């Protein structure tokens, strides 16, 4: 691949165009994002996120960053855990998603311990050694330079802090993988058209999942970024994987 291009789904596009193209996708789907998540995963995404919160080890008084936090599922739970002495920052590169997340958290009673920041994961605008925990759920695959983003996350973690990456991955079972492909490329765009009026965005999401690094590759990328004791857990047969690393 030419150094000046990157993948947008199955297309090669100029590096400088990818962020705006991804932004267009999420501007389009923001209003129906939660509904589509429930439909696409048959509600199982809530179980995946609950496990992420359990593995995060967040406690009262902690400072937590949720990157690509979208509509705020993780941030809402974290705000209740860290309490009034803690702080949660919901960050997203996309203003539409951030606005939906802000409205959702306010409607659900999230208090003054949540801040909202529009930020690019590749150059996070926070000082070194700031956060006890960083999460990114279903967002890393949309980042142009994943290595740069992981290094940026590692930089702003406190020593002893944890990074958790929840992302679609590669099912090791070939039968499950084939069935998952059939679902992703045939049914998902149709659901996107019916529910969100946007088949193309959900076709891109299916393609972006296939272009994302597999479990072992992402583990190595996290280690290269400076994280230690990196491990992953396959969820729902490896359709999704939860990676966890610690900054020592």
Beta bridge partners of 116: 90
Query: CA dist 210 to 138, 151, 207, Å?
Result: 13, 23, 5
- 71 annotated ligand-binding residue: yes
Asked if 215 and 241 count as a contact pair (C-beta separation under 8 A), the reply is: yes
Stretch 165-171: mean pLDDT: 95
Q: Which of 64-68, 102-106, 109-113, 184-188 has the lowest average pLDDT? A: 184-188
Three-class secondary structure of residue 119 per DSSP:
coil
Note the pLDDT of residue 54.
Answer: 97
Could you tell me the pTM of the whole model? Answer: 0.87
Asked if 154 and 225 count as a contact pair (C-beta separation under 8 A), the reply is: yes
Catalogue all structural domains in the chain, each as residue range(s) with its CATH number: 31-172+218-246 (3.40.50.150)
- 37 annotated ligand-binding residue: no
pLDDT, tens digit, 9 for 90 and up, residues 114-167? 999 999 999 999 999 999 999 999 999 989 999 999 999 999 999 999 999 999
Q: Alpha-carbon distance 238 to 241, whole Å?
A: 6
Residue 90 has pLDDT above 50, yes or no: yes
Residue 4 has pLDDT above 70, yes or no: no
pLDDT, tens digit, 9 for 90 and up, residues 12-69? 768 777 677 666 656 555 556 666 667 778 889 999 999 999 999 999 999 999 999 9
Stretch 214-243: mean pLDDT: 97
**Two structure tokens written together for 243:** 């990676």
Note the pLDDT of residue 13.
Answer: 60
Residues in the chain, overall count: 248
Note the pLDDT of residue 23.
Answer: 61
- 92 annotated ligand-binding residue: yes
134-148 burial, b if ≥16 CB within 10 A, otherwise e? Answer: bbbbbbbbbbbbbee
The number of angstroms, rounded, from the C-alpha of 142 to the middle of its chain's C-alpha atoms is 8
- 85 annotated ligand-binding residue: no
Phi, psi of 224 (to 5 degrees): -65, -30
Stretch 67-83: mean pLDDT: 94
Note the pLDDT of residue 1.
Answer: 46
Note the pLDDT of residue 178.
Answer: 93
């Amino acid at each position: 691949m030419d150094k000046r291009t990157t993948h947008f789904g199955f297309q090669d596009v100029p590096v400088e165009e990818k962020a705006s193209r991804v932004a267009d996708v999420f501007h389009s789907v923001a209003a129906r994002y939660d509904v589509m998540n429930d439909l696409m995963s048959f509600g199982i995404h809530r179980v995946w996120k609950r496990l992420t919160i359990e593995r995060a080890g967040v406690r009262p008084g902690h400072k937590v960053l949720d990157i690509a936090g979208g509509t705020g599922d993780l941030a809402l739970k974290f705000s209740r855990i860290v309490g009034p002495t803690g702080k949660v920052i919901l960050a997203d590169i996309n203003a539409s998603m951030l606005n939906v997340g802000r409205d959702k958290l306010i409607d659900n009673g999230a208090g003054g311990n949540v801040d909202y920041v529009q930020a690019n994961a590749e150059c996070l605008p926070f000082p070194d050694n700031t956060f006890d925990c960083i999460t990114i759920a279903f967002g890393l695959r949309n980042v142009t330079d994943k290595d740069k983003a992981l290094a940026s996350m590692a930089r702003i973690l406190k020593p002893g802090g944890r990074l958790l990456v929840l992302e679609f991955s590669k099912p090791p079972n070939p039968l499950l993988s084939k069935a998952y492909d059939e679902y992703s490329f045939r049914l998902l765009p149709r659901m996107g058209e019916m529910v969100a009026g946007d088949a193309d965005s959900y076709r891109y999401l299916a393609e972006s999942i296939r272009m994302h690094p597999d479990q072992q590759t992402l583990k190595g990328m996290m280690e290269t970024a400076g994280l230690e004791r990196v491990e992953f857990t396959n969820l729902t047969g490896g359709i999704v994987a939860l990676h966890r690393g610690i900054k020592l």
